[in-house]
Structure 1
Amino acid sequence: MLNKTKTTVVGFCLFAAISCTPVYRNHGYTPSEAQLANLMVGVDTRATAEETIGLPTISDTETGRLYYISSRWRHYGINPPKPISRDIVAVALDSAEVVTNVSRYSLEDGEIVALTRRVTDGGTEEISFLQQLLGNIGRFDASDILSEP
């Protein structure tokens, strides 16, 4: 009986130690310094920039910027994930889509880059499935069903 209890306690301790091991996850992509060195301000265009350093994570059509974003997150047990590092490379373009500036930001800089997510309205306006189904009663015409294609 004592052996079984010891085995259970040791197994529980091992499980607790393994489950509390931090897990790191990497998301996104930022070009390396060597790739950015190949980018020439005032010469390269949007197309050549994308060819040189890759497609951006996000592109802003209003300000003419390309954003390359990568982040590393630490997941530890039941705690919410925390960002360990975040790198943002912003490539500014002028109206002719020529590169005017290349900036690099990180969590340590404290620079706020406003990224918004726009969601297209589905048009259902909080209508439940049953309301949609019952709302279609009476909207059918017999000629729609009886007519031959």
Structure 2
Amino acid sequence: MRVVKWIGRSAVLAIALTVAGCVAQYNLHGYTPSDEDLAGIVVGVDTRDSVEELVGPPSTAGVARSDAYYYVSKNVRHYGIRPPQTVDRQIVAIRFDQAGVVSNIERYTLDDGRVVTLSRRVTGSNVNDTPFLKQLFGNIGGLDLSQAFQ
């Protein structure tokens, strides 16, 4: 009789764990200011410094063009063994004129389907069809120790 109870409890526990493993989990990444925070920014009056003071530094500070601040956030759903799915993405673009004064505030969502270029810099390739090992070991013979110790 004890074995039957143990098997029954084990089955109930296994079912409960299986159902719990299939619950969707959501992860929010990044930060976008709320509409209330953005209402405090006055177009034509506020500057980069005042925007950072009101809503914080931009998400893309390292790669942002000088004419805009971008705040980016996304919500990703993880469900069981399925691949993660982005269910919400928001981008707030605060654009500045030549003098550094706010000229426009825009909000894009996943539904807009717009591509926002965060950086237009293009890095040129210095590789000229040179094999990888030659690139890796090419400078070994070019060392001049007399210059290294001066």
Instruction: Compute the TM-score of the two structures, normalised by the length of structure 1.
Output: 0.73
Alignment of 1:91-130 (within 5 A): 91-108=94-111, 110-115=112-117, 127=132
2:42 pairs with 1:61: no
Contact 2:30 2:74 in 1 (8 A): yes
5+ residue gaps, structure 1:
none
What SS class does the counterpart of residue 36 from structure 2 fall into?
A: helix
Q: Which deviations, in whole Å up to 9, do the C-alpha atoms of 1:100-131 show, x marking residues without a partner?
A: 000112123x241334678979x899958xx9
Deviation at 1:67, TM superposition (A): 0.8
Identity %: 38
Counterpart of 2:116, as a letter, is A
Do the aligned residues in 1 keep the contact of 2:65 with 2:118 (CA within 8 Å)? no
Displacement of 1:7 in angstroms is 2.5
| Moved segments of 4+, more than 6 Å | 117-121, 123-126, 135-141
Aligned to 2:28: 26
Question: What's the TM-score, normalizing by structure 2?
Answer: 0.73
Partner-residue secondary structure (3-state), 1:88: strand
Distance 1:72 1:15 in 2: 25
Would you say the 8 A contact 2:41–2:54 is kept in 1? yes
What stretches of structure 2 of length at least 5 have no aligned partner?
none
Pick the aligned partner of 2:46 from 41, 44, 47. Answer: 44
Matched residue of 1:58: which SS?
Answer: coil
Which one of 83, 86, 90 corresponds to residue 86 of structure 2? Answer: 83
